[in-house]
């Protein structure tokens, strides 16, 4: 028999409706997860359901009923704490699938995963659970045990496996591919990924010529400033799109073009033009935020191009049992990189991030569905690294922004990422991070030149 709670009689559904508490639903959910993991022990399921109800009784009341999410969070916690890891995994994945089904039944059928296909998210979550990387406390265990190098190795192997699979997908298209586009939001790791794809394809006899879209930025003085004196160079219009399109088509026609060069420190194009002409069999390789945007590459015949999208698709829950935001991971990366390579202090990057997000939502994310392959560049070990690099600065930024109404957005963002960083054990030794790691693109020490 399932235990009857003493203090709670109702449950708050996602719709806001209050319904009677039903312990049988908890039992059934646990038992279904157990069956999915290869077990059929009904008595153990009843015992675990009873422990869930005990916790609910202690934490909630008739005046403060639990939500469906509260109950699911506790079920997940009880399963893990009592040694039922495989059942917990089945429950987590079932819960994820139900989220997808619920959202697809909505009016606009929008899935809140930035349009990344659900199967990709599910695959990454499944991998994270299998390697005990889906929660912060599990990452912290590696640091406490002195096993940070082992954690780095696990994550690096996964990223390189994805790169190898992406390259294989390109090779399967044979000689028809004339343009390879690697796109994705800011600090997703496009540059390192581009280099690695290039390395693999060269070994297979492919000859690639990189067209660096950053060289097509307009001079900064041609951009409008906001009330803070900040340039918005995150939009496609920050790039001379007509020239990009002209050069791509001329190159595909076998003609020579003069590629401009851009200096990020001065914010200007130089007069040093680089002549470029494709030889027989050579493939154009493009690394750009807006590579999938129709304004940049929509005029290229889809039959001759391969679209690869890269994003930090981390599937890890924070101390509040909520998934860590991908954008926060990339913000931390960019703060570190900009201060190291682009003469931007971390606070400037933080305050500029509203432009980054606005541009992503308008000009990058809507085109994810046109990708032929999606690479996950998130490294579960990277947040402890960023804690070492950025936490002290972020705390000072939070204080300076706190009473500035015009920068409330930056203040709230700083506060959120500080909380995130504080929940991790700090990584003080970066020596186990390989020189060819995508993370080296942001913290320095890479064998590649950026």
DSSP string covering 266-321, please? Answer: TTEEEEEEEEE-PPTTEEEEEEETTTT-HHHHTTS-GGGEEEEEEE-----B-TTS
Question: Is residue 420 scored above 90 in pLDDT?
Answer: yes
pLDDT at 101: 67
Question: Is residue 112 scored above 50 in pLDDT?
Answer: no
Quick one: CA torsion of 269, 274, 280, 284, rounded to 10 degrees? -20
Distance CA 74, CA 56 (A): 8
| Residue 124: Cβ-neighbour burial (10 angstroms; 0-12, 13-18, 19+) | buried
Crossing angle of helices 23-36/42-59, nearest 10°?
130
Q: What is the pLDDT of residues 194-252, one digit of tens each?
A: 999 999 999 999 999 999 898 999 888 776 565 556 677 778 888 999 999 999 999 99
Mean pLDDT lowest among 158-172, 212-226, 333-347, 399-413: 212-226
pLDDT at 196: 96
Question: Is residue 105 scored above 70 in pLDDT?
Answer: no
Identify whether the C-beta of residue 133 lies closer than 8 Å to the C-beta of residue 154: yes
pLDDT at 233: 72
Mean pLDDT lowest among 126-140, 212-226, 293-307: 212-226
pLDDT at 301: 92
pLDDT at 108: 44
- Taking residues 37-53, report their average pLDDT: 88
- Taking residues 162-166, report their average pLDDT: 96
> What confidence category does residue 362 fall into, taking pLDDT thresholds of 50, 70 and 90?
confident
Question: Is residue 79 scored above 70 in pLDDT?
Answer: yes
| Both structure tokens of 34 | 């157990």
Quick one: CA torsion of 71, 76, 78, 80, rounded to 10 degrees? -170
> What confidence category does residue 115 fall into, taking pLDDT thresholds of 50, 70 and 90?
low
pLDDT at 104: 59
Q: What is the pLDDT of residues 253-262, one digit of tens each?
A: 999 999 999 9
pLDDT at 225: 60
- pTM attached to this predicted model: 0.80
Question: Is residue 103 scored above 80 in pLDDT?
Answer: no
Domain-wise residue ranges, the chain:
10-111, 136-443
What CATH number labels 136-443? Answer: 3.40.50.300
> What confidence category does residue 158 fall into, taking pLDDT thresholds of 50, 70 and 90?
very high
Distance CA 63, CA 251 (A): 69
Which residue, 360, 247, 369, 202, is CA-closest to 302? 369
Higher local confidence (pLDDT), 345 or 51: 51
- Taking residues 307-328, report their average pLDDT: 93
> What confidence category does residue 415 fall into, taking pLDDT thresholds of 50, 70 and 90?
very high
| Both structure tokens of 369 | 């569905």
Higher local confidence (pLDDT), 92 or 244: 244
Identify whether the C-beta of residue 210 lies closer than 8 Å to the C-beta of residue 287: yes
> What confidence category does residue 111 fall into, taking pLDDT thresholds of 50, 70 and 90?
very low
Distance CA 332, CA 434 (A): 19
Average pLDDT taken over every residue of the chain: 89
pLDDT at 194: 93
pLDDT at 337: 95
């Amino acid at each position: 028999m399932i235990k009857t709670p003493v203090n709670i009689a109702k449950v708050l559904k996602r719709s806001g409706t209050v319904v009677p508490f039903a312990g049988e639903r908890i039992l059934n959910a646990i038992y279904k997860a157990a069956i999915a993991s290869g077990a059929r022990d009904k008595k153990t399921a009843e015992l675990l359901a009873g422990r869930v109800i005990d916790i609910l009784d202690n934490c909630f009341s008739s005046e403060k009923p639990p939500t469906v999410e509260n109950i699911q969070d506790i079920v997940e916690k009880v399963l893990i704490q009592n040694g039922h890891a495989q059942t917990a995994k089945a429950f987590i994945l079932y819960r994820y699938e139900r989220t997808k089904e619920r959202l697809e039944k909505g009016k606009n059928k929008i899935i809140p995963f930035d349009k990344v296909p659900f199967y990709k998210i599910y695959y990454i979550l499944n991998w994270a659970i299998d390697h005990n990387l889906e929660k912060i406390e599990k990452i912290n265990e590696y640091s406490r045990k002195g096993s940070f190098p082992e954690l780095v190795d696990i994550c690096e192997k996964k990223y390189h496996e994805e790169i190898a699979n992406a390259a294989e997908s390109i090779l399967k298209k044979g000689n028809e591919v004339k343009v390879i586009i690697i796109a994705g939001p800011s600090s997703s790791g496009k540059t390192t990924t581009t280099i690695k794809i290039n390395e693999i394809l060269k070994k297979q006899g492919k000859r690639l010529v990189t067209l660096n879209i950053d060289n097509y930025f307009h001079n900064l003085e041609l951009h409008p400033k906001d009330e803070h004196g900040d340039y918005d160079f995150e939009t496609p219009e920050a790039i001379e799109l007509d020239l990009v399109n002209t050069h791509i088509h001329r190159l595909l026609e076998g003609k020579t073009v003069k590629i401009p060069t851009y200096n990020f420190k001065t914010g200007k194009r130089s007069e040093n033009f680089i002549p470029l002409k494709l030889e027989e069999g050579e493939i154009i390789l493009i690394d750009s935020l807006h590579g999938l945007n129709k304004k940049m590459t929509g005029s290229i015949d889809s039959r001759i191009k391969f679209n690869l999208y890269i994003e930090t698709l981390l599937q890890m829950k924070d101390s509040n049992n909520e998934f860590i935001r991908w954008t926060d991971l990339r913000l931390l990366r960019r703060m570190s990189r900009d201060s190291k390579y682009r003469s931007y202090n971390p606070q400037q990057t933080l305050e500029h991030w509203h432009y980054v997000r606005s541009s992503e939502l308008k000009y990058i994310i809507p085109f994810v569905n046109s990708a032929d392959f999606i690479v996950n560049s998130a490294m579960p070990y990277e947040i402890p690294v960023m804690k070492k690099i950025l936490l002290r600065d972020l705390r000072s930024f939070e204080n300076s922004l706190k009473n500035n109404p015009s920068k409330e957005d930056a203040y709230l963002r700083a506060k959120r990422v500080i909380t995130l960083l504080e929940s991790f054990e700090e990584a003080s030794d970066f020596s186990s991070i390989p020189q060819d790691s995508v993370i080296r693109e942001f913290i320095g020490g890479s064998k590649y030149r950026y």
